[in-house]
Amino acid sequence: MDRLDNTVRPYAWGSPTAIPRLLGTEPTGEPQAEMWMGAHPGAPSRTGRGTLAEVIDAAPERELGPAAVAKFGPRLPFLLKLLAAGSPLSLQVHPDLAQARAGYEDEERRGVPVTAPHRNYKDANHKPELVCALTEFDGLCGFRDPLHAAELLDGLGVDSLKPYVDLLHARPEEAALREVLTAVLTADREEMARTVAEAAAACDRLGGPYAPYAGIAHHYPGDPGVIAAMLLNHVRLQPGEAMFLGAGVPHAYLEGLGVEIMANSDNVLRCGLTPKHVDVPELLRIVRFEATDPAVLRPEAGPDDEEVYETPTDEFRLSRYVLPEGGTTHDLTLATPQILLCTAGSVRAGEHDLTPGHSVFVPAGEKAEVSGTGTVFRATVAV
């Protein structure tokens, strides 16, 4: 069992205080957006045996187990994070596995550098995600019913939005959502900036269901993504609740601290709320234009007090243990690799004492006993 020394990524949207508060350290004044736990080449966790990527590369079957290697290859297929959003992330979607493979092969064939700002597919993998709230956590997930979106837009009283309102009323669901998102993202930028400014002022004035979009507009003035965001469901997670984000589902995180787990991929198609490249034709090919009721996931009781967040993906499986004072020791030994992350209290994992924000990697088959008082998240794979 290896204690992990993890990198914190200072993305501009990160909260300067949420991760330091969890760790019990002093803020630096800089944003601290994500703490990465895993073997992602961009920032692999460090152990006493080298980086976790080096440890796994040296003996993949010993570290990951034969079943995981047979299914996912000689790599850790997930990345676990602490994610602290102080302002909205970009509005985005992720491809499914077939789309990712085809897109990656196409860009490789055309010689688009992986580091190019207009490159869409950094790898050949999909990127399903799950975020579990540690604090109240705001996000956007999936399209609203077109009639509900029309009602929200119409309530702003902005004349330049009326054509979108009419489309949302007149067209079938898929066509309505596709045509309005296309129109928003391809509109004249100066005209759209004026529309966004009017809409933002109305959101400020109206509050209530418009408040999240007023906040988005404050961070991204004039961005077409502000209007695109109003087509999506606003979701507010309470601590312990989670949200799964599958392929083609437009989404954005707005504010809050959570535990996030995802398949190991960097493939993102952006819709707005970003100065980065937005490839509208490719985006429209990937987005699933269907209204959804964003299901809030709550953990389901498993054996030995494990609480499992069930998802349809195999690359990761996230669960937690809430350990009461005076509770028993739990044997977490598995034939698959694990990362154990403490988010509350004081927990003993093997020979390691863990406090909030600290984690260990458990190789496949290694004895893993956990005790103490607090909360431990367990990340592994489904095989």
CA distance 95 to 236: 25
The SS3 call for residue 126 is: coil
CA distance 49 to 326: 34
The contacts of residue 255 (CB under 8 Å, 6+ apart) are 85, 86, 87, 88, 137, 138, 215
CA distance 158 to 346: 53
CA distance 177 to 144: 9
Q: What is the DSSP letter of 129?
A: E
Let me know: does 127 contact 265? Beta carbons within 8 Å: yes
CA distance 32 to 303: 35
Residue in the block written with tokens 């004249």: 188
CA distance 210 to 153: 10
φ/ψ region of 273 (left if φ > 0, alpha if ψ in -120 to 50, else beta) reads: left
Residue in the block written with tokens 């309470």: 238
Runs of H (alpha helix) within the chain: 18-23, 52-58, 60-64, 66-72, 97-109, 146-154, 162-170, 173-186, 189-206, 211-219, 225-229, 280-286
CA distance 58 to 38: 15
How far lies 92's CA from each of 203, 219, 276, 300, in Å? 22, 16, 11, 29
Annotated active-site residue 49? The verdict is no
Let me know: does 4 contact 46? Beta carbons within 8 Å: yes
| Encoded tokens for 180 | 């309005």
Q: Which of 270, 317, 320, 378 is the catalytic position?
A: 270
Q: How many CB atoms lie within 10 A of CB 117?
A: 7
Catalytic residues: 270
